[in-house]
Amino acid sequence: MKQTPILLHIETATDVCSVALSRGAEIIGLKEEAGGNNHAKNLLPFVEEALKQGGCTIRDLNGVAVSIGPGSYTGLRIGVSTAKGIAYTAGIPVMAISTLEGIAQGAKASWTKTASEPVQIVPMIDARRMEVFTTRYDFEMNPLEEVTSKIVEKNTFAELLSAQKVLFCGNGMPKCRELLSAFPNACFIDTPISAQNLLPAALKKWQAQDFEDVAYFEPFYLKEYVAAKPVVKGLR
């Protein structure tokens, strides 16, 4: 097993389209755009740009890491399909990384630059209204509960926050911040969602040879996709 693998990382679970390239533990290419839903249009050009920045081609890749959800149904389908296509073409393995773990890794990295106190990390992905997809990690990135959807109300995290400091992060955090700010142990960090934050988990999976069956693995949606009925203006 190569000790310094060259890995491609794909993050499309939210409105951020992000591609990173790594060699070992170093990011050597990064192309991303936030605030749009142009993943189908942008993803492959972003892959090409990240490879160009790193001086690599698809033939140089040793594996592909992809954010597997939860998140946007369409975004996840595009990201996973692209990762599968690259893996088939290059004959390389795929590593599926929880979107929430990637968010938590980014938050941890930013937190350690400004504070030394270990905290539990609660990443949040925006669902609808006051609902978020979430889980908890300790500061060593060990999962502490199953991924779930929660309606955030005043006391949703009261018991946890009464016992210790908790770092909330992710694109679902801002809408919950006012409610959670009432607790002194609530901490917040605005770390952008990015493919480069998949690297720590991807390296662990690479070293353990924890790869997906490229033909059969699917995104983790958490909730079933329900298509809205088309509406024709003027008809009821």
Using the structure block, give the residue that is written with the tokens 């016992």.
Answer: 163
User: Can you tell me the mean pLDDT for 47-69?
Assistant: 97
Residue 236 vs residues 126, 170, 228, 232: alpha-carbon distances, Å = 31, 39, 15, 8
Q: What is the DSSP string of 86-99?
A: HHHHHT--EEEE-H
pLDDT of 132 above 80: yes
pLDDT of 226 above 80: no
pLDDT of 51 above 70: yes
Looking at residue 115, its pLDDT comes to 75
The token pair at 226 is 């329900």
pTM listed for this prediction:
0.92
pLDDT of 235 above 50: no
Looking at residue 228, its pLDDT comes to 43
Q: Are strands 131-134 and 63-67 parallel, antiparallel or unpaired?
A: unpaired
Among left, alpha and beta (phi > 0; psi -120 to 50; other), residue 119 is beta
CB distance 100 to 107 below 8 Å: no
The token pair at 129 is 């209204």
Domains 6-98+193-208 and 100-188 are alike in CATH topology: yes
93 pLDDT band, cuts 50/70/90, is very high
Q: Where are the domains of the chain?
A: 6-98+193-208, 100-188
User: Can you tell me the mean pLDDT for 92-111?
Assistant: 97
Amino acid at 137: Y
Residue 167 vs residues 37, 60, 138, 157: alpha-carbon distances, Å = 28, 38, 10, 12
pLDDT of 15 above 90: yes
% of the chain at pLDDT higher than 90 = 85
User: Can you tell me the mean pLDDT for 15-21?
Assistant: 97
**What is the distance between the alpha carbons of residues 117 and 114, in angstroms, rounded to a whole number?**
10
pLDDT of 153 above 60: yes
* Residues making up the chain, counted from first to last: 236
1 pLDDT band, cuts 50/70/90, is low
**What is the distance between the alpha carbons of residues 213 and 94, in angstroms, rounded to a whole number?**
8
Looking at residue 224, its pLDDT comes to 57
- What fold characterizes domain 6-98+193-208? Nucleotidyltransferase; domain 5 (3.30.420)
Looking at residue 118, its pLDDT comes to 85
Among 20-29, 59-68, 119-128, 227-236, the least confident range? 227-236
More confident site: 215 or 52: 52
What's 100-188's CATH class?
Answer: alpha beta
